[in-house]
Amino acid sequence: MESIIGILAEELNQSQTHVKNVVDLLDEGNTIPFIARYRKEMHGAMDDTALRLLSERLIYLRNLEARREEVRRAIAGQDKLTDALSAQIAAACTLAEVEDLYRPYKQKRRTRATMAREKGLEPLALALLGQDRALPEPAVLAEGYLDAEKGVATVEDALAGASDIIAETVSDSAELRRSLRALMMKGGVLRSAAAKEEDSVYSLYYAFEQPLPRVQGHQVLAVNRGEKEGWLKVSVAADRDAALAAVWRGTVKPGSRASDFVRAAAEDGYDRLLFPSLEREVRGVLTETASEGAIRNFALNLKPLLMQPPVKGRVTMGLDPGYRNGCKVAVVDGTGKVLDTAVVYPTQGDRRKDEAITVLAGLISRYGVAHIAIGNGTASRETEQMVSRMITHTPGVSYMIVNEAGASVYSASKLAAEEFPQFDVNLRSAVSIARRMQDPLAELVKIDPKAIGVGQYQHDMPQKKLDEALSGVVEDCVNAVGVDVNTASPSLLQRVSGLNGTTAKNIAAYREENGAFTARRQLLKVPKLGPKAYEQCAGFLRVPESRNVLDNTGVHPESYDAAEKLLSLCGCTLADVGGGLAELPERVKAYGEEKAAQACAAGVPTIRDIVRELLKPGRDPRDELPQPILRTDVMEMKDLAAGMELTGTVRNVIDFGAFVDIGVHQDGLVHISEIADRFIRHPSEIVSVGDVVKVVVLAVDVGKKRISLSMKQAKP
């Protein structure tokens, strides 16, 4: 265990004490959000990202140690475990290295070498491989192993079997595999060619060639998908001469009569066994690396999408555009409660468009609608034009195009059916679109993160890893914002630290039976929500209705005494929280943070967090971010011209650029080369999903629906 702690501390550049504390906290069943927020003194204020990385590496290193032990036992069971081999296994730093060492001892399927051994040819192969200078010619040596009953009727049969054994032995060499793998990764080339003559979306890769050190993750995933769909033939090319030189260097001993035979057998082993195996391994490594990068990118995009500032407290109209089935309409109040629904048909002629405007204007007037959320799917452009025309006669109303990715998934889900049994699937999506504008986080947690559409090749990812990464992002976002225990849906509650689907439903059921919670301590009365779960979740749940103002802050109940003591030291009381504490930071600074921490029996990080929470009880960190763009007019692609400067919202960030919504229904691409004046390795260094940015139009192709944009040419 000590070695794992040391490895983690070195990799993460953290002290061993802090790393051990985190490992102990994780082993005790504490969640990442809880550790990140309420155990800062124990881990040196690592953020949730660093803590998740530590947790992932901890699992890997523990699995590595377990596999080492399994391999040792398996080899020892064959009476072949030497001290030297045991030391090599102990020194292996990756699972791949352990498997290389285990390979010669692993139970194999029936191979040519296996059959040769069954014929009694292994001693011949070992003698030839030893290449003693006193050996006779291989043909002469082979005569002693002829056995017609075993299928070794001729010298050629014996030598062929010996060659197969030598080839497999060479292929199983851990040291040789390691050096050739490194050689291939350094000098290999990924190639793809057309498997069909027809044009396709993979035409860019019909004659593709890229050195492995320079190949991009999105290129690997693209050729993988093209190969899977039958459009591409993919291979890895390597320097065969250099590889064979390495094989012979480690296998052939000059000066023996068996040298040429061993050289030929080793060459066969490379061509028939070693290279194909290493090619699969290398492609596996490329895919794993690309997948990890894509998962990181997806998670990177998901976080700002979930953390988009809400447009709170106003009556909102959600529009789910459509052609044949019409535009579905839902009006929700400031809390997301559905007030009314309708279906209009603005795309089916001028008469029906006028009827639609009349219906929508009536709903706006009746319920005092302030904002309109329009889904960005089919018929979105026509719907936006209708809304823009309508609100010219309705002062004070604005609209926003909302990414509706995943809305149909939610609408058809069991969860949506339970939430809106009285509405059909189409109307549920309109409600979801309206709520996405009001509180993106609360609505998007109801949807599988993969369906939200802010990544690339998500369906090609290892689904378990992708789910874990995205679930971690959702969990971090929900707990960073905090949740009102009296209004949150079970979908939102179950993402709170320490809660699960069962306890979230139990909280909602308790609410319905007993009325609103009036204190955090009431959570302990919820069935199946015990002391440990309460410890993990309490600080993230807000109770605005509580008489104790601390129940509506991020101050954990375990720190209530410290908070009250701190207020007392600064000449304040709980009655001052939320209004009369503007000078609290200065008073704490004047008193001394260290001194205050000692007096309050808390750490300095906890004292700082308490001060921040007391200044703004019930604060929402999303309110401090740039607000979304609300529009009152509409443009089309044909209105765009090169040189125009516009303001837009980043919708997706990928390896080669960022897609920006500039209000023309078609997102424009800012290529990575047009994001910044300086060199950047990835667009995420500069932009995130949800960022409001200024762009300049570089080119417009209406036919192909392509818009090229630049951020670096826009005026600051």
**Concatenated DSSP letters of 132-177:** -TT---HHHHHGGG-BGGGTB-SHHHHHHHHHHHHHHHHHT-HHHH
* Max avg pLDDT among 214-228, 440-454, 698-712: 214-228
- For residue 187, the Cα-to-chain-centroid distance in whole angstroms is 30
Can you point out the beta strands (E) in 471-560?
483-484, 541-542
For 274, half-sphere exposure in the C-beta direction (CA atoms, 13 angstrom radius) is 32
Non-local CB neighbours of 505 within 8 Å, separated by 6+ positions? 490
pLDDT value, residue 454:
64
Distance between CA atoms of residues 669 and 660, nearest Å: 6
Question: What's the confidence (pLDDT) of residue 301?
Answer: 83
**Cα–chain center distance at 90:** 32
Q: Which residue has the higher pLDDT, 234 or 108?
A: 234
Residue whose C-alpha is closest to residue 388's, from 664, 81, 5:
664
* Position 634 pLDDT exceeds 70: no
pLDDT at 1 over 60: no
Mean pLDDT value across the chain: 90
User: Which residues lie across from 343 on neighbouring strands?
Assistant: 328
What gap in Å lies between CA 561 and CA 524, rounded to an integer? Answer: 19
Please report, for residues 37, 46, 402, 428, the alpha-carbon distance to residue 380 in angstroms, rounded to integers and kept in the order given.
Answer: 42, 44, 10, 17
Whether the predicted pLDDT of 434 surpasses 60? yes
- The candidate with the shortest Cα–Cα distance to 369, out of 412, 325, 339, is 339
Burial of 243 (0-12, 13-18, 19+ CB in 10 A): buried
pLDDT at residue 192 is higher than 90: yes
Cβ atoms of residues 434 and 331 within 8 Å: yes
List Cβ neighbours of 482 (8 Å cut-off, separation of 6 or more).
540, 541, 542, 554, 618, 620
pLDDT for 705: 82
Q: Indicate if the pLDDT at residue 183 is higher than 50.
A: yes
In this prediction, residue 2 carries a pLDDT of 58
Residue 681 has pLDDT above 90, yes or no: no
The predicted model gives 511-528 an average pLDDT of 95
Q: What is the DSSP string of 556-589?
A: -GGGHHHHHHHHHHTT--GGGTTTS-TTHHHHHH
pTM of the model: 0.79
Distances 358 to 325, 365, 389 between C-alpha atoms, Å: 19, 11, 12
Whole-angstrom distance, CA of residue 258 vs CA of residue 260 = 6
For residue 532, how many other CB atoms are within 10 A of its CB? 12
CA distance 182 to 139: 37
Per-residue pLDDT at 54 exceeds 70? yes
pLDDT at 629 (0 to 100): 67
Lowest mean pLDDT among 265-274, 408-417, 449-458, 494-503: 449-458
Going by C-alpha positions, the residue among 503, 328, 353 that lies closest to residue 424 is: 328
Ordered DSSP codes for 57-92: HHHHHHHHHHHHHHHHHHHHTTT---HHHHHHHHH-
pLDDT over 50 at 503, yes or no: yes
pLDDT in tens, 128-147: 999 999 999 999 999 999 99
Q: What is the pLDDT of residues 72-87, one digit of tens each?
A: 999 999 999 999 999 9
Query: Which of 60-64, 603-607, 666-670 is predicted least confidently?
Result: 666-670
- Reported as type and span, the H/E element at residue 473 is helix 463-481
Is the pLDDT at 340 greater than 80? The verdict is yes
Whether residue 512 has pLDDT greater than 50: yes
**Structure confidence at residue 455 (pLDDT):** 65
122-160 as b/e: b if 16+ CB within 10 A: bebbebbbebeeebeebeebbeebeeeeeebeebebbbb
Distances (CA, A) of 309 to 95, 369, 436, 618, 683: 43, 19, 10, 15, 22
Q: What is the pLDDT of residues 463-476, one digit of tens each?
A: 888 888 888 989 99
Cα dihedral 383/385/391/393 (nearest 10): -130
Q: What value does the mean pLDDT take over residues 423-427?
A: 84
